[in-house]
Structure 1
Amino acid sequence: MTEKWVVGVDLGGTTTKIAFLNTTGDILHKWEIPTDNREDGKYITINIGEAIEQKLQELGQSKANLLGIGMGAPGPVDYTNGIIYNVVNLAWEDNYPLKAKLEQVTSLPVYIDNDANCAALGEMWRGAGAGAKDLVCVTLGTGVGGGVIANGKIVQGISGAAGEIGHITVIPEGGAPCNCGKTGCLETVASATGIVRLATQKLNGEPEYQGKLMEVFKNKGKVEAKDVFDCAREGDSLSLAVIDEVAFHLGLVLANLGNSLNPEKIVLGGGVSKAGAILLDKVQANFDRFAFSRVKDSTKISIAILGNDAGVIGAACLVMNEN
């Protein structure tokens, strides 16, 4: 190995993505392992350590040339101490010392941050936010995640919970329950899960409607977010109504974030962002409607370009920021 490598880890509830990158953020090797939640999640860090060792052996490389490990984890993180909170999906106890555990099994320096923060860092370093030092990244997937970067640095907050954009309340009264324990969060509306909930609610509430989405619903017994976007492109009225509702709440939240932070770019990622113009044009229109004039003129909404690699690239960036 003639150059130093960095390890990026994107820890998920089902699978863990791991990559070796060079110091300029190019992915050299990447692979996945299952996330083993058995016995209070004690095997998660052990398995990551073993996977790194095995891959190094396969490649004939030495651990001595690794600068360190960066990891994005799903939950609020105390960046300074590498402690992760509220990790029910991973079976760890609260206040889990993730940094210390992974350093123990790998004998390498480890840096931990929230997974959405890492995705934001990745997009800033090598993606749609390249060149921007003030950036908001919103991931629209099964849930809604977020990361805020100010002057090139992740905004952590006092307890590691800054950037929880998905839990901004958009429906203060009578909103749907969210997994966080609140109701009416943006996540209950703008995530893939939220879009399906809205569509199903409308289908059940409008028995006289006989459009394209109802055909899909009857054939499959359910609808998916992709079905809503596909039917909307064909002019389906109910699907368009769902997208109007989603775009209103998302555009309003993004405008308020813009008004608060005035970032150079707001980057939208995750599966829902792949819907394209049918959603994004309406989000932009609502952003323009609610954003302060100078924010509207200076903040650009862009689509994330790194896809599933954003997490490992951003995690590697954590290491580079410390070296």
Structure 2
Amino acid sequence: MGGLILAADVGATNMRAGLFNERLELVKLSTAATPQTNVSAAVPMALLKLAREVSGDMWGMIERCGVASIGPLDSGRGVILKAPNIAEKGVEIPLLSMLMEELEVEFYHLNDCNAAAYGEWMVARENGVRNLVYITISSGIGGGAVDNGHLILGRRGNGVEIGHIIIDPSGYMQCGCGGYGHWEGYASGANIPRLAEKLLRDGQIPDGTLLAESIRKGALDAKRAFALYYAGDRGALGLFERLRDYLAAGLAGVINVFEPETLVLGGAIFLNNRDFFEREVFPAIDRYLLLERPPIIEPVRGDLAPLYGAAYAARDRIEGALVEPGR
């Protein structure tokens, strides 16, 4: 076995590393928790340890390495820049520093959603698709896009940060990144409870509802909010009218900008609540659209899409993702 590619996907809570053969088949996979303290040193060390674990005695056969990670990032330096969704916020993480000291190969660093878009497009292109957008709606909202066969990366690897498009210029909600009016600040799993809490404080959710009771008890999370909506709670129904429009407006904005042939939609908020999206959100998209709504499908690669995308990016030597030591 020769020509191996090492790939990794570093998330806010967990990380994966995989070893791919010359046919880009995943031959070994390892996972670990992402450290939450002393992250500038602990996360690079954990990544190196995981890479060593998954590679074993095949370490010397690795030709290239692709790494997907949370952002924002500086892909040319292999650095995560003050990620808002990790427990120890505001800390720069030299993600690839230790790994690059021990493995002398080319490294490619991508935002995890850009990597996922590339991983999904590698499957879709077999059916002739050249324009694809990937969106995940989970604890946060992220995305990536392939335009006529080219992965859009941006200047430092932060292109297509769709979770931070503005859907409310009044700035009613503050996003975890510190900005106001961002899509993620209203419609992500982490922020649906925060939106409900603020609406209750402002008198926009009626007292005497199960939603109001859950908020006051500190017992509301996204899963509970959806359960109350499905149960027909009056407070939750009002909240989800707003949520429907926030989700539809964000999705329509992305479609209007990129005009994809296929929109791949994943993340726990969508995958665990398909009925709400199919019955409420998708029809509401059309009133915001300039262009026709493309087919909306689930990820073929599932949670492994960023890992596969990182491997493909390393194989294809994606311009704009190459890490340049000393930059």
Common fold: TM-score over 0.5: yes
* Structure 1: tracts of 5 or more residues without a match: none
Distance 1:9-1:260 versus aligned 2 partners, 3 A rule: same
Q: How does 1:1-323 map to 2 (within 5 A)?
A: 2=1, 4-36=3-35, 39=38, 41-57=40-56, 61-87=57-83, 89=86, 94=92, 98-99=95-96, 101-126=98-123, 131-202=128-199, 205=203, 209-213=207-211, 221-274=218-271, 275-292=273-290, 295-296=291-292, 299-322=294-317
Q: Tell me the distance in 2 between the aligned counterparts of 1:82 and 1:252.
A: 33
Q: Tell me the distance in 1 between the aligned counterparts of 2:154 and 2:248.
A: 24
Offset, 1:35: 2.9
Offset, 1:91: 7.3
Offset, 1:17: 1.3
CA-based RMSD of the aligned residues comes to 3.0
Report the secondary structure of 1:184's partner residue: coil
Q: Tell me the distance in 2 between the aligned counterparts of 1:290 and 1:146.
A: 19
Offset, 1:26: 3.7
Aligned partners of 1:128 and 1:304 also within 8 Å: no
Tell me which amino acid in the other structure corresponds to 2:285: F
Report the secondary structure of 1:145's partner residue: strand
Aligned partners of 1:40 and 1:91 also within 8 Å: no
Offset, 1:63: 2.3
Deviations, residues 133-175 of structure 1 (Å, cap 9, x unaligned): 2122121121111212212222122343211111111111141
TM-score (norm 1): 0.83
Tell me which amino acid in the other structure corresponds to 2:52: E
Aligned partners of 1:41 and 1:91 also within 8 Å: no
Q: Tell me the distance in 2 between the aligned counterparts of 1:138 and 1:129.
A: 20
Moved more, 122-131 or 163-172: 122-131
Offset, 1:56: 3.2
Aligned partners of 1:146 and 1:163 also within 8 Å: yes
Q: Tell me the distance in 2 between the aligned counterparts of 1:118 and 1:176.
A: 29
Moved more, 62-71 or 17-26: 17-26
Tell me which amino acid in the other structure corresponds to 1:192: G
Aligned partners of 1:127 and 1:304 also within 8 Å: no
Q: Tell me the distance in 1 between the aligned counterparts of 2:55 and 2:157.
A: 33
* Structure 2: tracts of 5 or more residues without a match: 319-327
Q: Tell me the distance in 1 between the aligned counterparts of 2:182 and 2:17.
A: 31
Aligned partners of 2:143 and 2:162 also within 8 Å: yes
Q: How many residues align?
A: 314
Distance 1:36-1:198 versus aligned 2 partners, 3 A rule: closer
Q: Tell me the distance in 2 between the aligned counterparts of 1:312 and 1:121.
A: 10
Q: Tell me the distance in 2 between the aligned counterparts of 1:116 and 1:227.
A: 27
Q: Tell me the distance in 2 between the aligned counterparts of 1:285 and 1:114.
A: 30
Offset, 1:67: 3.0
Offset, 1:185: 0.8
Q: Tell me the distance in 1 between the aligned counterparts of 2:157 and 2:31.
A: 27
Moved more, 100-109 or 164-173: 100-109
TM-score (norm 2): 0.83
Provide the identity percentage: 26
